[in-house]
Amino acid sequence: MPGEPQDDCLFCKIVAGQIPATIVRETETTIAFRDINPQAPTHVLVIPKVHYRDAASLAAAEPALAADVLREAQAVADEDKLESYRIVFNTGAGAGQTVWHAHAHVLGGRGLQWPPG
């Protein structure tokens, strides 16, 4: 059920403290942690503490929570003193989503080419 923890979800397990992560920020509604396979000097994932499959389902069900994720992405960039950065939401396998829990990638600290990928 959307919003409920999923037993087979890696990020739900991080939220529950069952899997360790290098947490850089935490609020009542979000957790931000370093990606274990960073693609830039700063590569932090910001996730809602509740489970939604992807950014689209999160935004449709809880737009205020989607805004919390974006606000925390900005806070991560500020803490890492990034003058420019990218926020990426991969939605669907074709876009590169591999963990089915909504999350934002905050990438910065190097030049980021366009178009990506």
- Tokens at residue 86, please? 């990218």
**Beta strands 42-48 and 30-34: pairing type?**
antiparallel
- Of 51, 101, 103, 105, the active-site residue reads 103
Q: How far is CA 73 from the centre of its chain?
A: 8
Told to judge if 103 belongs to the known catalytic residues of this protein, a careful annotator would answer yes
- Whether 75 contacts 18, CB under 8 Å: no
**Beta strands 42-48 and 23-26: pairing type?**
unpaired
Nearest to 59 by CA among 72, 44, 70, 49: 70
Catalytic residue numbers read 103
